Structure 1
Amino acid sequence: MPMKSTASLSTKLVRIGAGLLIVALTSIGLTLWVTWQLEGGAAAVNEAGRMRMQTWRLTSAVQAGLPAPEVAALVAQFDQSLGLLRAGDPSRPLFVPWDDEVEREFANVESLWQVQRGLWLRDGPLDAQQSMRAAEAFVAGIDRFVQSIENHLSGFTAILNLFQFLMMALAIAAAVVMLYTGYLYVINPLGHLRAGLRQLETGDFAVRVNVDTHDEFGQVAAGFNRMAATLQSLYEGLESKVQAKTQRIEAQRARLEALYEVSAFLAGANTIEELSRGFSQRVRQVVKADAVAVRWSDEANQRYLMLASDCFPQDMVDEERSLLAGACACGALKSDARTRVIPIHTHDDAPMRHCARAGYQSLVSVPVRLQHRLIGEIDLFFRSEVSLNVDEIGLLDALASHLASSLEGLRAAALEREAAVGEERALIARELHDSIAQSLAFLKIQVQLLRTAVQKQQPQQVDATLDELDVGLRESINDVRELLVHFRTRTNTDDIEAALQETLQKFQHQTGLPTRLQVEGDGLPLPADVQVQVLHVLQEALSNVRKHAGASHVSLDVVKGAQWRFTVRDNGSGFDPHHTHGASHVGMKIMRERAQRIGAEVDVVSSAGQGTAVTLTLPPYPVTASPVATLGLNLNETATTP
């Protein structure tokens, strides 16, 4: 098994680069050193060649018989050249590449010079042939010395050529190493990763990349393997997760649909019997129970009354129609009870022996609360063992809450109807007291006057009284008819104009007076209960016109807007609003009382002989003081006109 490298990619590249750099620097240093040696040796060869020239110059000077000082100067120059070769000059550079042969030949040159130096410096003429032989011998020594240096430098030249070849080989090797290193540590891992990615793109999530190193590419490969493993696990579990999520969403949808269906039914139920029976049937279907019983508790939670049941055995219904609290698992709820599953035991002494005999094995008790007050329970019976999850418990609690709200709504509606009946009776009593009762009281006085006139035998007084009685009876009949017309008035929740038109037509038919309705402006529709009060005020104003105005024409002007305004005008006799008494005063009081119920104001403008204008001005958002006004109107619609 190959060893995994633990070095990072950057470390590997640094190591390779450092090795190549060291080799290159070493090679360059050696090349510079050899070049230095060659340069210094070449300068020494040049200096030795100059010594040959100096030798011939010295020979010529001696043969020419130059003065001794000049000859001595040439000798000194020759000494200087020998000293330079011996010591060298690093600044030029100039130095002799010493070895044994070079050392021997240089020593030979020095010894020859020591012999000839005396020859050149002695007094007296020198034989030309002798000087030539001495010069030739000395030049031959110098040539051998130069030859030994050149032999030595030829070795350095070979070394330099070798270094150049090695440098070329090193450059090629470095390129090969870099290419191989790039392939081994970069291109090859990238190729494996790319191949893995291509397989991954095709959906092969089982693909893995071999991790041979711990460098950066090794870490990337390990990360790729982890990613592929994660994708594989996600893909393998995706279908099951989607299926589970779909089932959960479907279950939630079914619960919401059931809750909506039951809520819609409860909202449309009109009686407690219909509501409880329909609720029990729907709850049993929703939870797939074998039987359902809906029980209601008294105020003290001492007895539970069975409101309705579904698929519950009739003998158990008859026996448990009224159940004492604590006598059974049903009806044994505490104030802090929650929805729970109760196992049903099969032995005869158990409190649930009737349920066991009927074949039920599990009971689900759902408390019914209204504003944290326990008002009943829903009992669900199953012929098998059941368990409830959090969502199912939440659904049952929501259904129980809707049942409690609906039952409370029916109870409140019954109370409202009862209050509406009471209020309508009081309204009828006020209407009778303010109109017919006063007329009857007037007729009673006239009857007493008639009896007195008969007793006193006053024929004229009897006729006058009979006329008054006849007028009073006609007024009473008209009041009764008008009162019934008021009670039969219907409104339109969208627009009051039709009801106003109908009211004027009835007034015109009753009195024979021409009427006119004018409506202008735009405004929000008035609530139905507000329309009722408006119509009653206008009908009372028209009644006053019929009774007291003696008008020949009546008009009703309606202005729609943020504040509705209704004005009843007549061209009758008019009156002084500040000195009104009798029946007209009663009519004004009735109108103002009705207007106050919706926060409106009644304004009367009248003067003797100029007619009367009664204006009803509504507030921006009119509402009735009593929520049962509309119910009272519905009850009034059952009256009939004689």
Structure 2
Amino acid sequence: MGIRLNELKNRFNGSVMVYIKGSLVGIISLAITTLFASYWITELADLDARAINLSGSLRMESYQLGMYGLEGNKQEIDKRIAIFEEKLRNPIFQKLQNDEQLNVLWQQTIVHWQSFLKPALLNLPIEDKAQFNLYVKTLAQNADAFVYAVQIDAESKIRLLRTIQVGALFITLLVGMFTLHLISLRVEKPLAELTHAAYAIGKGNFTHHVDLQGDDELALMGATLNHTCEAIASMYGQLELRVKQQTEKLELNNQTLAFLFKTARLLLETREKKHDLQQTFDELSQLIGVNDIELCLMTSGGDQPYVQIKPTHDDKGACRAQSCDNCIGSAAFVSIDDSTVTRFPLVYGDNHYGVIVVRGGKCFAEDSWQLQLVQSVTDQVALSLNLDEQHNQDRRIALLHERTVIARELHDSLAQALSYLKIQVTRLSKTQNKQQYDMQQPIIDELKMGLDSAYRQLRELLTTFRLKMVEEGLEASLNKTIDQLASQSSISFHLEFAVKQVPLSPMEEIHILQIAREASQNTVHHSQANNAWITLKQLDDGQLELAISDDGVGISHNAEKLNHYGMAIMQERAKHLNGELVVLPREEQGTQVKLTFLPVGGKDLYQ
């Protein structure tokens, strides 16, 4: 930029100020010259009036001398001669003698005075009066001619002064018009052009061009402005290009983030519905600009994929045709045989689930967004597979746990009832062998009662095993349980659910639901109550309290023997929750079953 500016300066050597200053100096010089000329002329004409006056007085003096000479008045003549000669010696006449024409007339006057009239006046009385009068008349005529010459000289000076003033005025007008034209051409128009250019540039038009002719400062300013506009336009174009590139990059990042969010949501939001990975990898292929992306899922001991997601145009797939032993790894790596193939192992923890193979194009750089995007998708797929595996493991554990509960409840209910019935059948068989028929009726009655009890327990177990957690959550499941129990009795059930803000695990919800149902079922069978209350709330220490209360007959001393397997199951469930289950008499009337435990989600808050 500096070199370019120096080159521009070298091209513009003129200066508009030189023209303006020269014009002003010319006008000022002309004015000063005119003033000095006028002063000089007026100085020359300053004594002309006095010279005319004195010259006229000489003519008057001539006539007076002639008159006194004719009279013969000696005394008066001597006085007049002295006055006349004193006037002749006046310095004004000495200065007037510098003019050649005036000097001739003046010399004629002096010669005629000294040669003719003065001698005649000194030789009184005058004898020839006619001659004397001729002398006087000639002197008067010479003085008159001299006066007229002085007048002509003064008038010529006035004419010269007028001529100088008119000439100065005309020259001043010409110089002024030239200066105005110069200012209009070299200053006003360029300034207007520069002002318009500045306004256009201020509006963002960096392509505006200033066309100024000349080699002065304003032309240099116009050329500099054009150069600046070109530089700004170039920088602006580069900025627009960078903005466009950054916009495209942001749009690509936005598409990448939207794709990652969509993939994560579809892979992780639900475990029951499997996501179509073919669509995901087709979108990934389009996003990174690689057509050949293959997903192969393998078991830990297998060498062939059991699930393969391949390009839509590929009928077989490369991974299906070869062993996957060389795909084992914990991070993305490039194939040794083909540098255009990059493999992304599906690894989560110590588990290997398969590999994603990207073929075609150049090898991804370590910090490229394509590599990071494929690695992120790989991590999400691996996490999804791990969650599927954990979900299946949780389902197996839950199934085993429920089978243990079923076995325990069958053992504590039907198994004991059947054992009791078996004993009664053995008694009945012995009485039959001993023909003790009178003892058979009580045994038969006990068998009927035992069968009724076993049937009732079977129905309760079937109801319990059918009980499940509805999709709406624990509160909806409790309401459904209350509706079922209310349909089996005349008891009015009331639910107070005050733990909507507490996160509960699925296992905790199942245990709470089963304990509430078991305690409510005991209320239906044994309490003879009119009302029952189920309350679930959080205490100040963070623990949850489940209370099942009724206004019935209250608890008996042998309560543990009544439906003792149900109480044992509730205690077992309380133990799994690391809580405490107690059965207490209600203060007003009836019985209260109370469970307190600290939920898993609240341990971190209250430790």
> TM-score normalized by structure 2?
0.62
- Alignment partner, residue 308 of structure 1: 308
Are positions 1:513 and 2:513 aligned together?
no
- Alignment partner, residue 178 of structure 1: 179
Q: Which residue identity is paired with 1:549? A: S
Tell me, in whole angstroms, the C-alpha distance in 1 between the residues paired with 2:446 and 2:421: 8
Pick which of 26-35 and 533-542 moved more: 533-542
Tell me, in whole angstroms, the C-alpha distance in 2 between the residues paired with 1:40 and 1:264: 120
Q: Which residue identity is paired with 1:99? A: D
- Alignment partner, residue 539 of structure 1: 517
Aligned-residue offset at 1:163: 1.4
- Alignment partner, residue 572 of structure 1: 552
Aligned-residue offset at 1:402: 0.8
Tell me, in whole angstroms, the C-alpha distance in 1 between the residues paired with 2:269 and 2:413: 47
- Alignment partner, residue 461 of structure 2: 480
Residues 333-362 of structure 1, C-alpha deviation per residue, up to 9 Å, x if partnerless?
A: 796x6668x785xxxxxxxxxxxxxxxxx8
Distance 1:294 1:37, change over 3 A: same
Q: Which residue identity is paired with 1:571? A: D
Q: Which residue identity is paired with 1:505? A: D
Are positions 1:25 and 2:35 aligned together?
no
- Alignment partner, residue 157 of structure 2: 156
Unpaired stretches in structure 2, ≥5 consecutive residues: 1-9
Task: Tell me the secondary structure at the aligned position of residue 21 of structure 1.
Answer: helix
Distance 1:365 1:162, change over 3 A: same
State the aligned residue count: 565
Tell me, in whole angstroms, the C-alpha distance in 2 between the residues paired with 1:303 and 1:238: 55
Aligned-residue offset at 1:219: 3.9
Residues 460-507 of structure 1, C-alpha deviation per residue, up to 9 Å, x if partnerless?
A: 9x879879967974775465245325x3242415xx665343211211
Residues 578-603 of structure 1, C-alpha deviation per residue, up to 9 Å, x if partnerless?
A: x9978697687578668879xxx999
- Alignment partner, residue 553 of structure 1: 531
Residues 387-443 of structure 1, C-alpha deviation per residue, up to 9 Å, x if partnerless?
A: 47879963354134213322222212321331354256446646875x665557986
Aligned-residue offset at 1:247: 9.4
- Alignment partner, residue 610 of structure 1: 589
Tell me, in whole angstroms, the C-alpha distance in 2 between the residues paired with 1:30 and 1:472: 153
- Alignment partner, residue 8 of structure 1: 15
Task: Tell me the secondary structure at the aligned position of residue 341 of structure 2.
Answer: strand
Residues 194-222 of structure 1, C-alpha deviation per residue, up to 9 Å, x if partnerless?
A: 9999xx9xx9x899947553531354157
- Alignment partner, residue 482 of structure 2: 504
Tell me, in whole angstroms, the C-alpha distance in 1 between the residues paired with 2:340 and 2:576: 57
Q: Which residue identity is paired with 1:570? A: D
After superposition, the CA RMSD in angstroms is: 7.0
Instruction: Indicate if the aligned counterparts of 1:266 and 1:279 stay in contact, CA closer than 8 A.
Output: no
Pick which of 302-311 and 162-171 moved more: 302-311
Instruction: Indicate if the aligned counterparts of 1:52 and 1:142 stay in contact, CA closer than 8 A.
Output: yes
Tell me, in whole angstroms, the C-alpha distance in 2 between the residues paired with 1:288 and 1:224: 44
Instruction: Indicate if the aligned counterparts of 1:56 and 1:135 stay in contact, CA closer than 8 A.
Output: yes
- Alignment partner, residue 629 of structure 1: none
Q: Which residue identity is paired with 1:488? A: K
- Alignment partner, residue 222 of structure 2: 220
Are positions 1:398 and 2:373 aligned together?
yes
Distance 1:136 1:580, change over 3 A: farther
Instruction: Indicate if the aligned counterparts of 2:72 and 2:125 stay in contact, CA closer than 8 A.
Output: yes
Are positions 1:365 and 2:342 aligned together?
yes
Q: Which residue identity is paired with 1:395? A: Q
Instruction: Indicate if the aligned counterparts of 2:534 and 2:546 stay in contact, CA closer than 8 A.
Output: yes
Instruction: Indicate if the aligned counterparts of 1:556 and 1:569 stay in contact, CA closer than 8 A.
Output: yes
Distance 1:238 1:449, change over 3 A: closer
Unpaired stretches in structure 1, ≥5 consecutive residues: 88-94, 326-330, 345-361, 627-642
Tell me, in whole angstroms, the C-alpha distance in 2 between the residues paired with 1:389 and 1:322: 22
Instruction: Indicate if the aligned counterparts of 1:75 and 1:117 stay in contact, CA closer than 8 A.
Output: no
Tell me, in whole angstroms, the C-alpha distance in 2 between the residues paired with 1:525 and 1:48: 139
Tell me, in whole angstroms, the C-alpha distance in 1 between the residues paired with 2:510 and 2:85: 150
Distance 1:294 1:504, change over 3 A: closer
Q: Which residue identity is paired with 2:464? A: L
- Alignment partner, residue 417 of structure 1: 392
Q: Which residue identity is paired with 1:10? A: M
- Alignment partner, residue 635 of structure 1: none
Instruction: Indicate if the aligned counterparts of 2:340 and 2:363 stay in contact, CA closer than 8 A.
Output: no
Instruction: Indicate if the aligned counterparts of 1:259 and 1:395 stay in contact, CA closer than 8 A.
Output: no
Tell me, in whole angstroms, the C-alpha distance in 2 between the residues paired with 1:497 and 1:46: 142
Tell me, in whole angstroms, the C-alpha distance in 1 between the residues paired with 2:97 and 2:12: 50
> TM-score normalized by structure 1?
0.60
Instruction: Indicate if the aligned counterparts of 1:490 and 1:499 stay in contact, CA closer than 8 A.
Output: yes
Tell me, in whole angstroms, the C-alpha distance in 2 between the residues paired with 1:516 and 1:73: 168
Task: Tell me the secondary structure at the aligned position of residue 25 of structure 1.
Answer: helix
Distance 1:295 1:447, change over 3 A: closer
Instruction: Indicate if the aligned counterparts of 2:15 and 2:216 stay in contact, CA closer than 8 A.
Output: yes
